[in-house]
């Protein structure tokens, strides 16, 4: 009977999003990581904070539509290098001169590997918190 009571007490915490309780996200250099919109992470031993702060545009062609242009997504990532804030804009536009998926801030390179979810239908608008940007921080 005691084990059943213990199990019932433990169930409310199962599957819950404990991100806020877990403290700040931390990752290593050369480790790809995903940030939800509005989330931030520190890079261990680097005094570097990375925050996925905004989606400026998401005009990528939805999977349910046939488009003549692939579209683009533009996001802003705020980077604090030793407390010095810088905003970096990434752009998934495949056109020459438009695609920006790598930026240098101080002595670090930040790369956008992917932006999810990919649009499924043209009428579904996503909130910032619905997005996940997969990033990689390296030293050149």
Domain boundaries defined on the chain: 22-138
* Model confidence at 90: pLDDT above 70: yes
Helix (H, G, I), strand (E, B) or coil at 20: helix
pLDDT tens sequence across 38-82:
999 999 999 999 999 999 999 999 988 899 888 999 999 999 998
Predicted TM-score (pTM) above 0.75 = yes
Q: What is the pLDDT of residue 96?
A: 86
Query: Tokens in use for 73?
Result: 């997504």
Neighbouring residues of 10: CB distance < 8 A, sequence distance ≥ 6: none
Residue 33 forms beta bridges with which residues?
135
Distance CA 91, CA 59 (A): 11
State the CATH class of domain 22-138: mainly beta
Burial of 134 (0-12, 13-18, 19+ CB in 10 A): middle
Task: Tell me the average pLDDT across 98-125.
Answer: 93
């Amino acid at each position: 009977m005691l084990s059943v009571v213990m199990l019932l007490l433990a169930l409310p915490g199962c599957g819950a999003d404990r991100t806020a309780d877990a403290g700040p996200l931390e990752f290593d250099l050369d480790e790809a990581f995903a940030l939800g919109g509005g989330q931030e992470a520190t890079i261990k031993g680097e005094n570097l904070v990375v925050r996925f702060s905004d989606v400026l545009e998401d005009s990528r062609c939805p999977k349910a539509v046939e488009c003549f242009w692939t579209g683009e997504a533009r996001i802003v990532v705020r980077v604090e290098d030793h407390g010095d804030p810088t905003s970096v804009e990434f752009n998934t536009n495949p056109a020459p001169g438009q695609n920006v998926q790598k930026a240098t801030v101080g002595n670090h390179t930040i790369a956008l590997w992917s932006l999810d979810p990919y649009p499924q239908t043209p009428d579904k608008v996503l909130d910032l918190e619905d997005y996940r940007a997969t990033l990689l921080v390296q030293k050149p």
